[in-house]
Chains A and B, each alone.
Chain A
Amino acid sequence: MAEQTTQQAEQGAERTPQWAMAIDLDRCTGCEACVVACASENNVPTAGEDQAAMGRTKHWIRIDRYYEGEFPDIKVKYRPVMCQQCDEAPCEPVCPVNATYQNAEGLNVQIYNRCIGTRYCANNCPYTVRFFNWFAPEWAAPLNLQLNPDVSIRPAGVMEKCTFCAHKIKRAKLDADAEGRELADGDAQPACVQSCPAEAMVFGDMSDADSKVAKQLGSGRSGQLLESLGTKPRVFYLEKAD
């Protein structure tokens, strides 16, 4: 990655953005608007009752709940969890066919037509955010009528997970290109970030010191999920230190 970045700098090409997300846990209300937005943006299939009972639902993003205290003096904390886009991703080295890798922009990429479905990656993911397609995807009507043409439908036998809405990043880049300008902070927005009514999530290029996300990361409140594992996630959680 570093090699490529210097190479590009030498060629005078534009900077490679380093995508990251900051999620303010003190703002999240657990409304799950992000979960709904993600499913509809990314053509995430519904599992159906029977499969759900077997734990085979797919949620590229989920809300973990933490309870503090005893009822009725109880406090609930919500934590949206999606693929953490780790710099040292445990899922990548175990894939025998290189179907998952980190690209120059720091995205942990999943290539569907390369995946042979060994499921090693999902087993090695400490965040349990990878999902296997046991069956061909199905949508309960009328959800089948709202599929997004910008996102491929994953067939049976392949792994899928949050992409940081790579298709929207791509669209933002193409739009900027067409207008002959640089990609600006906030142009690329994953569906979850876009839909959060509490504005708990911020997405952007953390290598740009002026970006909203870089400022959040420098706020002194940020940490990572299961930091001690050394996975170096690109998703940062902001919390009041107490």
Chain B
Amino acid sequence: MKGRPAARAVRLEPASAARLSCTSLWGEFLVSLAMLSALLLLVVQTASASEQPIGFSHTAHIEKASMQCTDCHEGATSRDSAGLPSIRKCMLCHQFIATDLPEVVRLSEYWERKHEVPWERIYGFAKTAAVQFRHAPHARAEIACSQCHGDVASMTVAVKAVTHTMGSCIQCHRDNSATDDCLACHF
């Protein structure tokens, strides 16, 4: 847990809750309800932030180190799936760079144990949706990564910023006069 950047700042706003009148029982109930939901929100959000085994910062790599998405997600422009990089790719740099950062220390622990980092996928389709998504044709159509994945360049640990539904896919297909045949994706 320690040293991992939080995915998103959680605003609790206790001040506004305190401003509520506490004289009546009803008011007290409202306050506790508000605090409870805020607490729940905090739990849920920190849980999603801590899902990844390492608090990989996208923004540090993209904004500060000027890397491209496809440097690590190699298949994004040429293959079906964008893919997650092997630990070997991380270690190409991190054998030498920023070796004392706590997250990089955690990375080298995996490396020394000869394990891959068990990254959690945050995007993907449910098996029951029977969707066959292909990255390459979307890249050829010059759809920016951010259109479907949000502004990852400013994220630390990537969060699911865009929800993929059939509605959003179809809308984009229609806007770009791409096919809206069901068979284009479901087979």
Contacts and interface: CB of A to CB of B under 8 A. Distances in A.
B140 A178 contact: yes
B136 A170 contact: no
Contacts of A193: none
A35 B128 CA distance: 26
A223 B103 CA distance: 68
Interface string B145-187: 0000000000000000000000000000000000001111011
B128 A113 contact: yes
A129 interface: no
Contacts of A166: 183, 187
Contacts of B78: 178
Contacts of B184: 170
A112 B186 contact: yes
Contacts, number: 50
A174 interface: yes
B182 A155 contact: no
The dominant DSSP class at the A interface is loop
Nearest to A11: B177
A174 B183 contact: no
A152 B137 contact: no
B128 A151 contact: no
Contacts of A111: 130, 182-183, 186
Given A113-B130, A150-B132, A178-B136, A103 B181 contact: yes
A104 interface: yes
Contact of B137 (A150, A167, A177): A177
A69 B143 CA distance: 64
Interface of A: 101, 103-104, 107, 109, 111-114, 150-155, 163, 166-167, 170, 174, 177-178
29 contacts: A101-B182, A103-B181, A103-B182, A103-B183, A104-B181, A107-B183, A109-B182, A109-B183, A113-B128, A113-B129, A113-B130, A113-B186, A114-B186, A151-B187, A152-B127, A152-B130, A152-B131, A152-B186, A153-B127, A154-B130, A155-B127, A166-B183, A166-B187, A167-B187, A170-B134, A170-B187, A177-B140, A178-B78, A178-B136
Interface of B: 78, 127-132, 134, 136-137, 140, 181-184, 186-187
